[in-house]
Amino acid sequence: MRLIGLASSVFVLVLTFVMSGFGQAPSQQQPRDTGGDRAQQDDRRGKNQDGQAIFRYDTFGDEQLWTAVLRMHEPIATVDPVTALSVGLKVDVDALPAATVAALRAGQVDLTNPAVTTELLRLNAVVGVKGAVDQTGQLTSIGVTCALCHSTVDNSLTRGIGKRLDGWANLDLNVGAIVALSPALPDALKAEFRTWGPGKYDPRHHAFDGTNLISLNSPSLPIVIPSIYGLKGVGFETFTADGPISYWNAYVGVGQMGGHGNFIDPRIGLSITQTPDLVTSKLPALLEYQLTLRAPEPPSGSFDKEAAKRG
């Protein structure tokens, strides 16, 4: 039941080549009309903003798995923030009202109260998790986004609560322990998921076809959740090398997250077709944003620069 293993796909960026007056003396060079450049830059910025929203907030309709099949909204409604943070869920401080941030700093929020978790979901503040809360304060549905596994926070307010770091692997996230809370799964499968541990996930164990969980490979072989920054210019970015980023985004979005869409790969015997397709049309913008995520600078003094230059 693939949470969101990785988030991946390759897209060809369009470069704008502008005639520079090569071969002319500087004084003879013609002025360049940059209107087209600005339009393309604005278009790229727009796509990046769309892609960021997709990455952070779009469930692709995967509530069909997390709510309808796994019934995850039932146990999550009983989980307090302390427990949620202990299994690696993160809170986006920028999504919280100023009064809530002040109360957290002052220790005036009861983080042992499950109702606080529901309120954080209502505020859309839990990174990678989207919950619907009705007028009575009841959690009625749960879905997940790419950011669940591939974003973390900088802990600027406290551990697990801070500003988003998109593209960084959430190595605190215990996917197996979270999914094992489902009241719909058999005990043997739950026990297997609990063996994964923090920061690991098996993206080839099961897939979801829109109705049922399909067994792919056994025994489970979980891998470390990867960061997805610094992928611009990389060829085969996925650990299996069986496709570029968009292949993996489609595989994960549909087969792992449980999104409502299409994915077909005869090599692994998987063919999923659902109407409407809520995934495929979003892959280009998602990729555009992913390719803007740069690898962070290493901390000062963390490695020998001269030795690195020598290889």
What are phi and psi for residue 206, nearest 5 degrees? -135, 165
Burial of 124 (0-12, 13-18, 19+ CB in 10 A): middle
Asked if residue 53 is part of any domain, the answer here is yes
User: What is the span of the domain harbouring residue 235?
Assistant: 39-295
User: Distance between CA 306 and CA 311 in Å, rounded?
Assistant: 9
The amino acid that residue 51 corresponds to is G
pLDDT at position 17 is 26
Burial of 18 (0-12, 13-18, 19+ CB in 10 A): exposed
Q: What's the distance, CA 311 to chain centroid? A: 33
Q: Count the domains in the chain.
A: 1
**What DSSP element (H or E) covers 176?**
helix 175-179
pLDDT digits (tens, 9 = 90+) for 46-62: 657 899 999 999 999 99
The amino acid that residue 199 corresponds to is G
Please state the rounded mean pLDDT for residues 2-7.
36
Which tops the pLDDT comparison, 32 or 235?
235
User: Distance between CA 125 and CA 102 in Å, rounded?
Assistant: 16
pLDDT at position 234 is 79
The amino acid that residue 150 corresponds to is H
Asked if residue 303 is part of any domain, the answer here is no
* Maximum mean pLDDT: which of 3-7, 146-150, 230-234: 146-150
pLDDT at position 305 is 87
Cα–Cα nearest to 140, from 122, 167, 163, 158? 122
Residue 118: which residues within 8 A CB-CB, separation 6 or more?
77, 131, 133, 137, 138, 139
Q: At residue 172, does pLDDT exceed 60?
A: yes
Asked if residue 10 is part of any domain, the answer here is no
pLDDT digits (tens, 9 = 90+) for 79-129: 999 999 999 999 999 999 999 999 999 999 999 999 999 999 999 999 999
Asked if residue 212 is part of any domain, the answer here is yes
Tokens of 234: 């990389």
Asked if residue 248 is part of any domain, the answer here is yes
Q: At residue 190, does pLDDT exceed 90?
A: yes
Quick one: CA torsion of 217, 218, 222, 225, rounded to 10 degrees? 20
pTM to 2 decimal places: 0.83
Counting residues of the chain whose pLDDT is more than 70, the rounded percentage is 83
Any idea which residue has 């409502």 for tokens?
A: 260
Which tops the pLDDT comparison, 18 or 75?
75
Asked if residue 254 is part of any domain, the answer here is yes
pLDDT at position 3 is 36
Asked if residue 31 is part of any domain, the answer here is no
The amino acid that residue 100 corresponds to is T
Asked if residue 252 is part of any domain, the answer here is yes
pLDDT at position 47 is 58
pLDDT band at 38 (very low <50, low <70, confident <90, very high): low
pLDDT digits (tens, 9 = 90+) for 243-283: 889 999 999 999 999 999 999 999 999 999 999 999 999 99
Residue 303: which residues within 8 A CB-CB, separation 6 or more?
none
Tokens of 178: 């979270």
Share the mean pLDDT of the chain. 87
**With b meaning 16 or more CB within 10 Å and e meaning fewer, what string describes 180-204?**
bbbeebeeebeebbeebebbbbbbb
pLDDT at position 236 is 66
Any idea which residue has 């509530």 for tokens?
A: 63
| 3-class state of residue 155 by DSSP | coil
